[in-house]
C-alpha cells in the first residue's frame, strides 16, 4: 500500500514556479520519503568501526609493510562500486529478501536459493560466536579486568565462558527480534549518539596525550591490572617482534602489500549493503538516491572515522606498539594478557578505574546498537524462501500476539547454539569461522553476477526501472559497476582461498576442515532445494515457475 510520492497527495506536483510533472490523487500508501539519515544509521552500524573494525584491524600486523590508510581508502573506493550495484538492484527490484530475491529472479530459483541461503542463513550461524568473541574482547573482559574481577575475567576466557557469551548474544538478538525493529531502531539511535560521545572522548584522550604519557599509563595499568612488571610497553613491542611482527614505519608505502590488506579490511568494511535484504519493506527504495546515499555515507563516514582513530593511535600509542601488541596477543606471549583493545588502552590515560570502566561501558553501546541486527536479514531471506515454498510455510510463521517470527528464529537460533558449542569447545574447528567473511563475499558475488546480466536476462524489469537511463559508453551502468565489484570480490576470494602463506588463516591447503564444512553447507542447500521440488511437485506445485514471467501481449 505504500508508495513514495513526488508531491503531496491530492495536489498538483509543482513546486513554486515549476511545472508539475505528475498529479497524484488521494490514495493509500502515498507517503513522504523516509529519512536518509535513519537508513544511514543502519548502514553505519553494519560497518561498525569499533566492534568489527578494531577487531579486524588487529590482524593488519600480518601485513607489516602495507600502508593502512591507503588500503582503507582503496577499499572504500572499491566498495562504493558494491554500494552502487546494490542501490541499483534495490531500485530495480526493491523486494524483501534482497540477495535471495535478486539471484532467484535473475539466475534462477535453484541457484538463487543455494547461493543466498548458504550466505545469509548457514554462514550467519558462524557469526554468532564471532560476535560473542567481540563481546568478550571489548566488553566483558576489559570491564572485568578494570574492576578487578579476575574470577569473572578468567571465566570468560574459558571455553564455557565463551559459550555463555555466545548464548548471551543469541538471547540479545532474540529479544531484539521479539521487540521489533521500531523499538530497536530507537535503541540504535540512543546507542549511536552516546557511542559517538564515547568515541569523541577516546579521540580526545589520544589527541591530547603524548606517546610518553601513554607509555607511562600503559606500564602503570599493566602492573595494576595484570601484574606485569617493569617496562611492559617495551616488553610488548619485544614480544610482538619475537612473535614475527616485522616493524615498518606507518608512512612506509609499497603497492603490493596494500592489496594484501584488503581481505582483512573486508571483515568490517564490506557490509554497508547489509540492510539491502530489508529494502523490500521500503517503497521509497524505488528511488535510487535513498539507498545509495544511506549506504555510501555509512561507508565513508566510517572510513573517515577509522582514519582519524588510527592516526591518533599511531600518534599516541605508536604504530609498532599497536601491531606488536596484537602480534604478541595472538602468539599468547603478551605481558598484558587480554586482547589489545585500543579503547581500554586510551582509558588508561586517566588514572581512574571508575572512569576506565565507564568508558568501556559507553563504548560497549557500539556493540549493543549493532549486534541486534545479526539475524534480521537472515529472517527476511528465510521468509522469502518460505513464501516461494522452498522452505516449509512454518518457517515464515509469526506469533499472533507479539508478531515474533518464531519459525525463522528457531531456524537461526538452534543451529547457532550447536555451532557456538563447537566453536567454544572444539578449537580445531575455529578456522571455519575465519571463512565467514569469504562465504558472504561469495553470496555478494552471485548477486553482482546477477546485476551484470540483469539488463539482458530480465530486460522487462530493467527497462521499466529508473536506472535504465544510466549508461557508460552505451553499456548499462549497473553492468559496468558490477563488473568492477566482481573483480574486487574475486581478488579477495582468491587471496582468502589460495594465499600461499595462508595469511588469512583460510587458505584451502591449510584449512581442509573449512573446505569440507562449506562444501557441506552447499550440498545441504542443494538437497533442501531438490527435496522441496520433489515434495512440492507431489502437491501440484512447480517451483520452477515461481519466477517465470507471464507474457504481456
Partner 1 sequence: MPRIFFATDLHGSETCWRKFLNAAKFYEADILICGGDMTGKAIIPIIEENGHFTYTLGGDPQVVAAAEVVEVETQIRRKGYYPLRVSPTRLAELDQNAEVRGDVFRQVMLEGVKRWMELADEKLGGTGVRVFVCPGNDDEFEVDDVIRSSKLVELGEGRLIDIAGFTMISTGWANPTPWNTHREESEERLSERIEAMASQIKDLSRAIFNLHTPPYRSGLDEAPAIDADLRLLHGGRALRPVGSKAVRDAIDRYQPMLSLHGHVHEGKGAVTLGKTLCINPGSAYEEGMLMAAIVNLDAAKGVKSYQLVNG
Contact set for partner 1, span 468-487 (CB under 8 A): 469
Stretch that binds partner 1, among 211-219, 252-260, 322-330, 532-540 (CB under 8 A): 532-540
Please tell me the distance from the alpha carbon of residue 379 to that of residue 387, in angstroms, as a whole number: 12
Task: Please report, as residue ranges, which positions from 436 to 465 form the binding site for partner 1 (by CB under 8 A).
Answer: 460-461, 464-465
Of 161 and 455, CB closest to partner 1: 455
Q: Which helix (H) or strand (E) holds 4?
A: strand 3-4
Task: Please report, as residue ranges, which positions from 182 to 201 form the binding site for partner 1 (by CB under 8 A).
Answer: 182, 185-186
Which of 17, 25, 473, 474: binder of partner 1 (CB under 8 A)? 25
Of 292 and 517, CB closest to partner 1: 292
Of 33 and 147, CB closest to partner 1: 33
Of 394 and 425, CB closest to partner 1: 394
Site string for partner 1, 317-356 (x = CB under 8 A): ----------------------------------------
The answer to whether 428 contacts partner 1 (rule: CB under 8 A) is no
The answer to whether 17 contacts partner 1 (rule: CB under 8 A) is no
The answer to whether 16 contacts partner 1 (rule: CB under 8 A) is no
CB of residue 24 to partner 1, shortest distance in Å: 5
Please tell me the distance from the alpha carbon of residue 485 to that of residue 479, in angstroms, as a whole number: 10
Output the CA angle 10-14-16, nearest 5 degrees.
125
Question: Residues touching partner 1: how many (CB under 8 A)?
Answer: 82
Task: Please report, as residue ranges, which positions from 385 to 424 form the binding site for partner 1 (by CB under 8 A).
Answer: 387-389, 393, 396-398, 400-401, 403
Please tell me the distance from the alpha carbon of residue 124 to that of residue 132, in angstroms, as a whole number: 13
Stretch that binds partner 1, among 10-18, 160-168, 211-219, 242-250 (CB under 8 A): 10-18
DSSP, res 9:
T
Cell of 363: 563504548
First-to-last C-alpha distance (Å) of the chain: 27
Of 363 and 391, CB closest to partner 1: 391
The answer to whether 154 contacts partner 1 (rule: CB under 8 A) is no
- E-strand spans in 354-501? 471-472, 475-476
DSSP, res 418:
H
Task: Please report, as residue ranges, which positions from 246 to 305 form the binding site for partner 1 (by CB under 8 A).
Answer: 275, 278, 280-286, 294
CB of residue 213 to partner 1, shortest distance in Å: 42
The answer to whether 110 contacts partner 1 (rule: CB under 8 A) is no
How would you write 267-291 as a 3-class SS string?
HHHCCCCHHHHHHHHCHHHHCCHHH
Of 147 and 185, CB closest to partner 1: 185
DSSP, res 18:
S
Please tell me the distance from the alpha carbon of residue 237 to that of residue 480, in angstroms, as a whole number: 46
Q: Report yes or no: 162 and 130 within 8 Å, Cβ to Cβ.
A: no
Of 97 and 240, CB closest to partner 1: 97
Which of 256, 428, 474, 553: binder of partner 1 (CB under 8 A)? 553
Which of 17, 19, 500, 501: binder of partner 1 (CB under 8 A)? 19
**Sign of the torsion formed by the C-alpha atoms of 444, 129, 520 and 508:** positive
Output the CA angle 250-232-62, nearest 5 degrees.
35
The answer to whether 9 contacts partner 1 (rule: CB under 8 A) is yes
Q: Is 32 exposed, middle or buried (0-12, 13-18, 19+ CB in 10 A)?
A: exposed
Output the CA angle 317-234-210, nearest 5 degrees.
30
Please tell me the distance from the alpha carbon of residue 24 to that of residue 433, in angstroms, as a whole number: 52
Please enumerate in sequence order all residues whose Cβ is within 8 A of that of 493, keeping only pairs 6 or more positions apart, or say none. Answer: 438, 441, 442, 445
Of 10 and 427, CB closest to partner 1: 10
CB of residue 504 to partner 1, shortest distance in Å: 33
Amino acid at each position: 500500500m505504500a508508495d513514495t510520492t513526488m508531491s503531496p497527495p491530492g495536489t498538483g506536483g509543482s513546486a513554486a514556479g515549476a511545472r508539475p510533472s505528475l498529479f497524484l490523487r488521494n490514495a493509500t500508501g502515498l507517503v513522504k520519503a523516509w529519512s536518509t539519515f535513519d537508513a544511514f544509521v543502519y548502514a553505519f552500524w553494519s560497518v561498525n568501526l569499533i566492534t568489527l573494525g578494531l577487531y579486524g584491524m588487529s590482524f593488519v600486523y600480518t601485513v607489516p609493510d602495507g600502508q593502512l590508510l591507503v588500503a582503507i581508502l582503496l577499499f572504500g573506493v572499491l566498495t562504493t562500486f558494491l554500494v552502487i550495484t546494490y542501490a541499483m538492484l534495490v531500485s530495480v527490484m526493491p523486494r524483501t529478501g534482497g540477495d535471495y530475491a535478486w539471484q532467484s529472479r535473475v539466475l534462477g530459483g535453484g541457484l538463487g536459493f543455494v547461493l543466498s541461503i548458504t550466505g545469509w542463513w548457514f554462514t550467519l550461524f558462524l557469526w554468532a560466536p564471532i560476535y560473542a568473541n567481540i563481546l568478550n574482547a571489548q566488553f566483558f573482559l576489559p570491564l572485568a579486568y578494570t574492576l578487578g574481577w579476575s574470577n569473572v575475567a578468567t571465566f570468560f576466557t574459558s571455553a564455557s565462558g565463551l559459550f555463555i557469551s555466545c548464548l548471551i548474544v543469541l538471547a540479545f538478538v532474540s529479544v531484539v527480534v521479539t521487540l521489533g525493529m521500531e523499538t530497536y531502531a530507537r535503541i540504535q539511535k540512543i546507542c549511536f549518539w552516546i557511542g559517538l560521545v564515547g568515541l569523541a572522548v577516546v579521540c580526545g584522550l589520544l589527541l591530547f596525550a603524548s606517546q610518553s604519557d601513554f607509555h607511562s599509563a600503559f606500564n602503570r595499568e599493566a602492573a595494576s591490572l595484570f601484574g606485569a612488571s617493569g617496562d611492559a610497553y617495551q616488553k610488548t613491542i619485544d614480544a610482538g617482534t619475537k612473535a614475527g611482527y616485522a616493524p615498518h614505519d606507518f608512512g612506509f608505502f609499497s603497492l603490493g602489500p596494500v592489496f594484501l590488506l584488503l581481505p582483512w579490511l573486508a571483515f568490517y568494511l564490506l557490509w554497508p549493503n547489509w540492510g539491502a535484504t530489508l529494502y523490500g519493506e521500503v517503497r521509497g527504495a524505488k528511488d535510487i538516491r535513498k539507498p545509495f546515499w544511506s549506504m555510501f555515507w555509512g561507508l565513508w563516514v566510517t572510513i573517515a572515522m577509522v582514519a582519524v582513530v588510527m592516526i591518533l593511535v599511531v600518534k599516541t600509542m605508536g604504530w609498532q606498539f599497536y601491531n606488536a601488541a596484537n602480534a604478541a596477543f595472538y602468539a599468547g606471549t603478551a605481558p598484558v594478557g587480554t586482547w589489545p583493545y585500543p579503547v581500554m588502552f586510551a582509558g588508561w590515560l586517566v588514572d581512574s578505574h571508575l572512569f576506565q570502566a565507564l568508558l568501556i561501558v559507553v563504548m560497549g553501546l557500539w556493540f549493543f546498537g549493532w549486534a541486534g541486527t545479526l539475524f534480521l536479514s537472515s529472517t527476511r531471506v528465510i521468509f522469502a524462501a518460505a513464501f516461494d515454498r522452498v522452505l516449509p510455510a512454518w518457517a515464515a510463521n509469526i506469533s499472533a500476539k507479539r508478531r515474533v517470527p518464531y519459525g525463522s528464529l528457531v531456524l537461526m537460533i538452534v543451529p547457532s547454539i550447536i555451532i557456538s558449542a563447537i566453536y567454544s569447545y572444539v578449537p580445531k574447528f575455529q578456522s571455519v569461522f575465519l571463512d565467514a567473511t569469504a562465504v558472504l563475499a561469495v553470496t555478494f558475488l552471485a548477486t553482482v553476477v546477477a546485476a551484470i546480466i540483469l539488463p539482458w536476462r530480465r530486460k522487462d524489469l530493467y527497462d521499466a526501472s529508473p536506472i535504465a537511463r544510466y549508461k557508460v559508453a552505451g553499456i548499462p551502468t549497473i553492468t559496468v559497476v558490477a563488473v568492477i565489484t566482481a573483480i574486487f570480490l574475486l581478488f579477495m576470494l582468491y587471496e582468502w582461498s589460495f594465499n600461499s602463506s595462508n595469511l588469512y588463516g583460510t587458505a584451502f591447503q591449510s584449512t581442509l576442515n573449512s573446505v569440507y564444512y562449506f562444501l557441506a553447507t552447499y550440498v545441504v542447500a542443494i538437497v533442501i532445494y531438490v527435496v522441496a521440488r520433489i515434495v512440492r511437485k507431489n502437491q501440484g506445485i512447480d517451483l520452477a515457475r515461481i519466477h517465470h514471467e507471464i507474457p504481456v501481449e
